[in-house]
Amino acid sequence: MKRYVIALDQGTTSSRAILFDKQQRIVAMSQREIRQFYPQPGWVEQDAGEIFDTQYKVMMEAMAAAGAAPKDIAAIGITNQRETTVLWERDTGRPVYSAIGWQCRRTADICRAAEEAGMAPLIQDKTGLVIDAYFSATKVKWLLENIDGLKSRAERGEVLFGTVDSYLIYRLCGGLHVTDYTNASRTMLYNIGELEWDDSLLDYFGIPRAMLPRVVPSLGVVGQARIQGLDIPVAGIAGDQQSALFGHGCTRMGQAKNTYGTGCFLLMNTGERRYNSQSGLITTLAIGEGTKPHYALEGSIFSGGSVIQWLRDELGLIRAAEDSEYFAAKVPDNAGVYLVPAFTGLGAPYWDMSARGMLVGLSRGSGRNHIIRAALESIAYQTHDVLEAMTEDTGIPLSVLAVDGGATRNNLLMQFQADITGCPVERPELLETTALGAARLAGLGVGFWQPDDLAAAEGQGRRFIPHIPDEKRKVLLSGWRKAVKSCLMHSESDSGWL
């Protein structure tokens, strides 16, 4: 009798593996950090080999911690950091260059050229995306143009492209080259209306079709991972944010969640209806109740939990991430101090690749705790801006915001999130929603669970209710908007910034 489903959760800063039992409870977990490299300002790279090695090791460690053998595992689900781009040799599986991270801005000039060529309307119509260095297409183009001989090798089918899910599956399943709808929709190469790779975009970016993976549903067996001589089906694949949406049970129109990870990602399931945003959001593919994908609106915030890491690692204002709540609570408010954390540009709804971070409103009385509080509040302000844009696009007022991710453990941040949006915030008891989504997909894919089983809740968690008056909310938002406006104005000025 199979006893567990294992979720491989490959994130920006760590690789994790989590075993879930029949009751969807966590039985064991293992995690290893992975490195990021910054060879030039605005560039972000990772070692794809390290990504796979750490992911495989934590899978084996989690199984060992649970006393489980491969015969005990019903299925593997994979969820991953999206947009990060890997090119590797078909024959060996060896990466031909570092993985280019989703935060990397090296392709900003390629994006500007595409905008100047009038490609923006076509790209939005076909892919649902805006032109930005965030997405995979320009990363692939950069690699093909800057690595000697790579373009011709790719044309001969010797070099393959994939997001992180593709690379993991290729290595686990003996050369199987696939991705799922959710990850394909993040490449800026996939037609989300026709559900196929788009030849006109491949031609424009100069990307050979031979490089591309086959696109499969997020739910269902796609291959067999050979683990210690036994085959375990890989039966669930989803980009991390769509996986979290599914893990929250947001499979119907109008349901939304926000994940607080390195960045923040707010998604609203819009069912079979596709909304083309007029407010700076993107349209992407999500998971519905069957194998056919749904549409979703998404707001991508580049600096979320990374703001807290910045306080710790670069400024030295806190020793551990959890200290941020303690010090921020020592002051009653931000005293007019605002941080706009545009460390790698501003994402939705502004989409300014050239923006850089700004701290405003400092006075002689401003201190360490005000800066820490401003940093925490910046995460909530950015989320408010995305929610506001989402409501404008859909006309659907949000009744509750489901949340997950490490930063949701910060009660001050969650309460301020509810206060500044005027919307209740629900934090589940089980915060590993991204991994749970991948596990549920895999479990459903092999019949380990049935759809009715997913209704079994882990508990109600905690609900944060807004409690500040509307007038105070308006004052706080006015200060934030002025700070963002100042940041955008500096981005447009001839300041020598990127």
Cβ–Cβ under 8 Å, residues 414 and 464 = yes
The number of CA neighbours under 13 Å toward the Cβ of 496 is 0
Q: What is the pLDDT of residue 430?
A: 85
Q: What is the pLDDT of residue 456?
A: 58
- CATH of the domain spanning 249-427+468-498: 3.30.420.40
Query: Sign (positive/negative) of CA torsion 45, 149, 87, 205?
Result: positive
Q: What is the pLDDT of residue 265?
A: 87
Q: What is the pLDDT of residue 121?
A: 93
Nearest to 327 by CA among 364, 359, 370: 370
DSSP string, 272-312: T-----SSS-EEEEEE-SSSSEEEEEEEEES-SHHHHHHHH
Q: What is the pLDDT of residue 494?
A: 45
Q: Would you list the domain boundaries of the chain?
A: 4-239, 249-427+468-498
Token output for 135: 């997405």
Task: Report the C-alpha gap between 226 and 224 in whole angstroms.
Answer: 6
Q: What is the pLDDT of residue 498?
A: 36
Cβ–Cβ under 8 Å, residues 10 and 442 = no
Please count the other Cβ atoms lying within 10 Å of the Cβ belonging to residue 134: 29
CATH 3.40.50.720 fits 4-239, yes or no: no
Nearest to 225 by CA among 30, 21, 13, 55: 55
Element (DSSP H or E) covering residue 188: none
Per 3-state DSSP, what percentage of the chain is helix, strand, and coil (rounded to 5)?
35, 25, 40
CA-based radius of gyration for the chain: 22
Ranges assigned E (strand) in 11-154: 14-20, 26-33, 45-46, 73-80, 86-89, 99-100
Amino acid at 10: Q
Token output for 409: 């453990």
3-state SS, residue 425: strand
The number of CA neighbours under 13 Å toward the Cβ of 1 is 3
Pairing state between β 159-162 and 178-180? unpaired
Phi, psi of 190 (to 5 degrees): -110, 130
Task: Provide the whole-model pTM.
Answer: 0.85
pLDDT digits (tens), the chain, 498 positions = 789 999 999 998 899 999 999 999 999 999 999 999 999 988 999 999 999 999 999 999 999 999 999 999 999 999 999 999 999 999 999 999 999 999 899 999 999 999 999 999 999 999 999 898 989 999 999 999 999 999 999 999 999 999 999 999 999 999 999 999 999 999 999 999 999 999 999 999 999 999 999 999 999 999 999 999 999 999 999 999 999 999 988 888 888 899 998 889 899 999 999 998 888 889 999 998 777 889 999 988 888 888 999 999 999 999 998 899 999 999 999 999 999 999 878 888 887 878 888 999 999 999 999 999 999 999 999 999 999 999 989 888 888 899 998 889 999 999 999 999 999 999 998 888 999 999 999 999 999 998 888 775 555 689 999 999 999 999 999 999 999 998 888 766 544 433
The 10s digit of each residue's pLDDT in 356-374 is 889 999 999 999 999 999 9
